Structure 1
């Protein structure tokens, strides 16, 4: 990884992209400490220390502390992720919508609709915070003051959405994921300091810390293993004569990733499981019930949350893989170019074979991803080690880091080929 970054830094164009990405991440962190006007901080602090912390911890962790401090980026980028999920699910349920998104300008139109839905969802969520759960923290209860808080929170999410798209377009790519990544790792120094303090005070056992380090190592190794794992399906191209020259005849393979979806299923699952907690902000009386039944801090909530998390991760792994890889389209492309899988007939048989292989490796990747995301959550819920950067957050951090490095490597490869062809 460090060698790749070192080589990328030597390429002027890539160096500019890396510097631009780092500057945008710095802008995000600066915005994450700008407070929303008209808020009583002492009331917010009492909410987090008054027993509802388990309900709010996820939001605070993913926003890099912006939620707990109730800053302009308190909503973070999650309305955008939710709107992406909604549109992708609707495109499958509504054939007409799928047809629109498959047109030449389909991606552009989908991005535009995602932005609109994001603003609407952010407006709803900001209203839930201002009128519901955090209403007592607003100093001036006038309509204008509440509207100011709602508009500031909505604008913060819209700005983050623009920032993420800017990183994707002008930076190293993967903008939205990098914002989540930055938010999570920004909390690591604070959390490490807290663990060290508790260890010194004797409130945390050294065995529990070692247990966490072991599982952190297992998570990192596990994510790298399933992210890098692939099934190589052999492909042979038939020989054909064009004029006096003979083309084709070479052997290659289709690299089918064990986990084509990356860490997106974990992000999607976490976002959807946060919906009951978001609804609790509309109705503060629901907070206790939601924490008990739909939060890892509650009992039997930890078991319900875990089961739902596993099912959603498996579902979104299949869903995201189906969006990325279509066996029938791939088989048609192979057939048109004179390619075939040895022992398999071109056309429908090839598509069925690819679909069979895809299903087998996807279920293995989905189960592995669900296990890696879930086991640490269960272990931490039965120990006194209150570490926020558990299974889900570590999984996201490692996954996003791997995906970003792959994008940098791909851009380096493209530039080296360009230089060679010159």
Structure 2
């Protein structure tokens, strides 16, 4: 029996983006608190932090300079790092290799046990590299659109991922339901052995659909 071990390109999903947004909100919040301090030096530092880590807009980029690019660059790096971090937690290569060995399964061309664990780790790390880059670019799509189109875009990368995830889950649910309806046409008691198989003396188990059974009984 040949089967497939599913490994997603972006195993972490939207979690790295959520973590990155949460971390980026901390410097902005601290900057606002420092801006209201009595010290002039703290006020200057707080104003810079609030400016650097505020959510960029088309007006921010049109002003020019390098400061508006601090937020998107930091955002991309955080998403990239958190993708590797969360994938290492959610995908346990050692546990999967042990379960495969206990169930008698194996990956073709790879020994069970430690070799399977190393192979899975290698494959997942390669996929996560491309997945982290894709997730980071997806998170920056609204910001990139603001830079080139000079308009404010309300939709975020998280919204796009959630929309795609919901659409895929809906399609899977529809496919599963259609498969259940197909299997429902057959009943466990409605089967017979066909002994008249050309070229062989063995018996073949065949299932009789419900409609065929009803038509046979009527005849």
TM (norm. structure 2) is: 0.66
Q: Take 1:252 and 1:416, find their aligned partners in 2: how far apart are those partners?
A: 19
In the alignment, structure 2 segments of 5+ residues that lack a partner are 37-42, 189-219
Question: 1:308 and 1:369, CA in 2 relative to 1: closer, same or farther beyond 3 A?
Answer: same
Superposed, 1:101-250 pairs within 5 Å as: 250=1
2:20 corresponds to which residue?
269
Q: Structure 1 residue aligned with 2:124, among 358, 373, 385?
A: 358
Query: Is the contact made by 2:32 and 2:47 (CA closer than 8 Å) also made in structure 1?
Result: no
Q: Take 1:357 and 1:405, find their aligned partners in 2: how far apart are those partners?
A: 27
Query: Deviations 1:306-343 (Å, cap 9, x if unpaired)?
Result: 22111111111112212221111001111001101111
Q: Structure 1 residue aligned with 2:3, among 252, 263, 272?
A: 252
1:332 corresponds to which residue?
98
Query: Deviations 1:136-176 (Å, cap 9, x if unpaired)?
Result: xxxxxxxxxxxxxxxxxxxxxxxxxxxxxxxxxxxxxxxxx
State the secondary structure of the residue aligned to 2:115.
helix
Superposed, 1:300-315 pairs within 5 Å as: 300-315=66-81
Question: 1:350 and 1:268, CA in 2 relative to 1: closer, same or farther beyond 3 A?
Answer: same
TM-superposed CA distance for 1:302, in Å, is 2.3
Query: Deviations 1:289-315 (Å, cap 9, x if unpaired)?
Result: 223322333753322222211111111
1:289 corresponds to which residue?
48
Question: 1:384 and 1:407, CA in 2 relative to 1: closer, same or farther beyond 3 A?
Answer: closer
TM-superposed CA distance for 1:372, in Å, is 2.8
Query: Deviations 1:264-290 (Å, cap 9, x if unpaired)?
Result: 212221121111122234344455322
Q: Take 2:111 and 2:33, find their aligned partners in 1: how far apart are those partners?
A: 58
Q: Take 1:336 and 1:256, find their aligned partners in 2: how far apart are those partners?
A: 20
In the alignment, structure 1 segments of 5+ residues that lack a partner are 1-249
Name the structure with the higher helix share: 1
2:159 corresponds to which residue?
397
Query: Is the contact made by 1:341 and 1:350 (CA closer than 8 Å) also made in structure 2?
Result: yes
Query: Is the contact made by 1:291 and 1:301 (CA closer than 8 Å) also made in structure 2?
Result: no
State the secondary structure of the residue aligned to 2:5.
strand
Q: Which has the larger radius of gyration?
A: 2
Q: Take 2:153 and 2:116, find their aligned partners in 1: how far apart are those partners?
A: 48
Q: Take 1:261 and 1:411, find their aligned partners in 2: how far apart are those partners?
A: 21
Q: Take 2:168 and 2:145, find their aligned partners in 1: how far apart are those partners?
A: 32
State the secondary structure of the residue aligned to 1:258.
coil
Question: 1:417 and 1:336, CA in 2 relative to 1: closer, same or farther beyond 3 A?
Answer: farther
Query: Is the contact made by 1:266 and 1:313 (CA closer than 8 Å) also made in structure 2?
Result: yes
Superposed, 1:56-75 pairs within 5 Å as: none
1:36 corresponds to which residue?
none
TM-superposed CA distance for 1:369, in Å, is 1.6
Query: Is the contact made by 2:53 and 2:70 (CA closer than 8 Å) also made in structure 1?
Result: yes
Aligned CA-pair RMSD: 2.8
Query: Is the contact made by 2:21 and 2:75 (CA closer than 8 Å) also made in structure 1?
Result: yes
Question: 1:301 and 1:401, CA in 2 relative to 1: closer, same or farther beyond 3 A?
Answer: same
Q: Take 2:9 and 2:69, find their aligned partners in 1: how far apart are those partners?
A: 27
